[in-house]
Structure 1
Amino acid sequence: MKFELFIALRYLAARRKQSFISVISLISILGVGLGVAALIVVLGVMNGFSTDLRDKILGVNAHMVAGVMGGAMRDYRVNIEKLDALPGILGATPFVYTEVMLSSSGGVKGVILRGIDPATAGEVLSLPRDMVQGQLSDLDAPGSFPGIILGKELAERTGVTVGSAVNILSPSGRQSAAGFTPKVKTFVVRGIFRSGMFEYDTSLAYVNLAASQDLLGFKHDLVTGIELRVDDVYAVDALAQEVREALGGMPVYVRTWIDMNGNLFKALQLEKTAMFIILLMIVLVGSFSIITTLVMLVMEKTKDIAILMSMGATAENIRRVFMLQGAIIGAVGTALGYALGLPVSWALGRYQFIKIPSDVYPMDYLPIRLAASDVLLVGATALAMCFLATLYPARQAARLKPAEALRHE
């Protein structure tokens, strides 16, 4: 063991008259440890929140939507074959989109109605996995009335269950002598889904393509557009251009999940950065405690420093003693932070014992997802701040003159 490290360890374990310095060192370690632990947990929560939100949004919605500007899409089956052939496209399904009024014996609610193809919708949407009652294929089951699938919250608000009949009032209708008459069609609830996002579960309903086309009065086999699922969700911008080229010859628009939800995820990233900076102040307080500890130690050990320099220790040796002492405090504090933060994050993610209101947030528990890059960044930042805190006290100790230090001894 080099003598600089040996002396640094001895000074950290100061006794008797110097016990107060050891207390300050302990406070510094605790300050750094609590700061690192808080950073790990909070960054895990922010990552979990944004990741779970992204997964839920990309489950209910497609990664990419292609449609015709100002109208409906014809020959969508041919277009789907073209898009399925593109590398990076995992699935494509047609859809019809409209807003309607849903009425039942339990109440009336405005909903977003989406016509889908049950045979291919599962390749793009998470709806088959979100079903809590019934199956997606039940939309094509024969019966007196076409089937409809409702969100769990929507079904509870309107007081319906599987097998109940609901009326859908469409904005399309016909003009008569008495004025405009909206079109009303009866559907039977064939299933209930729960996406985990309150906004979707209270406002979404699904029917098959034929039922939605009939409800809207389409005289031909038309759809609103095509929904796509891609291999890499972060490469959608480059793939969007390939989709436009594949659908060339018509005025198409292509919207990605980033276009549709970009502001939300940018806000979450900004909030994560802000929380990192705010909680980093806790580590900064711990590093200031390190400065206090080392300055007091330099004042206390002036005689020892002078004797060491008289025995041949150089200014660089003295500087290393105090830099090592601060680095040890930072390393122990960072390790303590990992020992606290990682188990707490694991427990939060494993047992989900912190519940949050699902009508306010898009999930009903506090999500935790630790990213290795964030964990390493927290540790590196804490160690860097603790190391920087050692520079001033170590420099002051190295500048001591043995003759001046021993003059009054």
Structure 2
Amino acid sequence: MSFESFIALRYLMARSKQTFISVISVTSILGVALGVASLIVVLGVMNGFTKDLRDKILGVNAHAITMSIGGGIANYESVMEKVQGVPDITGVTPFIYSEVMISTASGVKGLVLRGVDPATAEKVLSIREHMEDGSFASLEQDGMPGIIIGKELAQRLGVGIGGRVNLLSPTGTKTATGFTPRVRICRIVGLFKTGMWEYDSSLGFVSLGFARDLLGWKGDTVTGLEMTVRDVYRADKVAENVTAALGGYPYYSRNWMEMNANLFAALKLEKTAMGIILTLIVLVGSFSIVTTLVMLVMEKTRDIAILMSMGATRSQIRRIFMLQGTIIGAIGTIIGFGLGLSVAYLLKRYQFIELPKGVYSLDTLPVLIEWTDLLIIGVSAMVLCFVATIYPARQAARLEPVEALRYE
């Protein structure tokens, strides 16, 4: 053990006659610990919210989509083959997108209608994990065409599995008597619940063939292609590669990050703001370290003078007090990590904090601890505590032994 470390630890531990300074030291440690623990828990909850929201969005939507500026993709099977050959593409399925009206005897509601291919949709859309009844395969059963809708929408329309609904398309036909909208009757073959009200109350899935019939489309035209990629955070790069593989115009591709940019930007800003606010708690703890060391320098003036008269250099004196403050910060950070990780584990394991149902997209607080966040929190806390030691350590090193011992 070095000379500086020995003196720093002795000053930190041997304080039977310095009760007030000891109380300030404990307060400093607790301030740093509470700040670190708060940062770990809050950032973990924010990460959990972001992941939960991302999973729900990607459960209904694919990682990327490819469409044509002309308004549709004809002969989509040949286009699918080219897309499937792009590296990092793990699944491709065609889709038809439109907005229609859905009605029963209990009411009428606008509906975002998605035509899907049951054979390939389950490889791309993970909404199957949110299905409470039925499956995509049920869409092509013999008999009346099927539709899968959200549980919220089913409750609003007063229907369930096997119930019949009417779909009205705005793309009707002109007849001698005027404009006639297309109306088709279909049967509910599946219900899903994602936890996001926007999807559960206004989204429906039908087969590609039924969607074309309802909209009056000819041939095998689709709105576009949906894709999943190996790494969701590289979806933008893969989407660019897909467009390049198709030769560019008239094709273009978009990714999930681009289509939900505002939402995730708001979550990132909120996480940053919470991090800054809670860092102030650590800053308060670090200022307490300044107070502790300043008072200790005043208390140990004679000891410092004796050490310097015995040959201790000013740099050694400075390092003694910087080490002492750093030790206080390290103890507070370690306690904060233990406290924060324990609370995060309890929240994740027992989920004892419930959220108002219908307000949020989930019922309990989600927690996701990321090692990068832990590293940033630990380094930031230690840096703040180290910076707090610089001023009192420099003041201790500036003491003149003769002046310090003159009145002793």
Equivalent in the alignment of 1:44: 44
Equivalent in the alignment of 1:202: 201
Cα deviation for residue 177 of structure 1 reads: 4.2
Equivalent in the alignment of 1:62: 62
Cα deviation for residue 140 of structure 1 reads: 0.9
In structure 1, distance between residues paired with 2:100 and 2:375: 50
Render the CA deviation track for 1:387-406: whole Å, top value 9, x for unaligned: 11111101111111111011
Aligned pairs for 1:139-218 (under 5 A) are 139-143=139-143, 145-218=144-217
Cα deviation for residue 28 of structure 1 reads: 0.2
**1:296 is aligned with what amino acid?**
M
Cα deviation for residue 362 of structure 1 reads: 2.8
Cα deviation for residue 173 of structure 1 reads: 1.3
- Percent identity reads 61
Cα deviation for residue 156 of structure 1 reads: 1.6
Aligned pairs for 1:6-405 (under 5 A) are 6-143=6-143, 145-248=144-247, 251-405=250-404
Cα deviation for residue 14 of structure 1 reads: 4.7
* CA gap 1:249/1:4 in 2 versus in 1, 3 angstroms: closer
* CA gap 1:185/1:275 in 2 versus in 1, 3 angstroms: same
**1:239 is aligned with what amino acid?**
V
* CA gap 1:283/1:249 in 2 versus in 1, 3 angstroms: closer
Contact 2:150 2:200 in 1 (8 A): yes
In structure 2, distance between residues paired with 1:389 and 1:194: 52
Cα deviation for residue 249 of structure 1 reads: 7.7
Render the CA deviation track for 1:302-337: whole Å, top value 9, x for unaligned: 111112222222222211221111011000000010
Cα deviation for residue 258 of structure 1 reads: 1.9
Render the CA deviation track for 1:53-89: whole Å, top value 9, x for unaligned: 1122122101111111132211001111111122111
In structure 1, distance between residues paired with 2:94 and 2:357: 31
In structure 2, distance between residues paired with 1:157 and 1:350: 34
Deviates most, 334-343 or 303-312: 303-312
Deviates most, 275-284 or 237-246: 237-246
In structure 1, distance between residues paired with 2:215 and 2:380: 59
**2:383 is aligned with what amino acid?**
A
Contact 1:193 1:201 in 2 (8 A): yes
In structure 1, distance between residues paired with 2:354 and 2:117: 36
**1:299 is aligned with what amino acid?**
M
Cα deviation for residue 265 of structure 1 reads: 1.5
In structure 2, distance between residues paired with 1:194 and 1:123: 19
Cα deviation for residue 47 of structure 1 reads: 1.3
Render the CA deviation track for 1:122-144: whole Å, top value 9, x for unaligned: 1110122221111221111112x
Question: TM-score scaled by structure 1?
Answer: 0.96
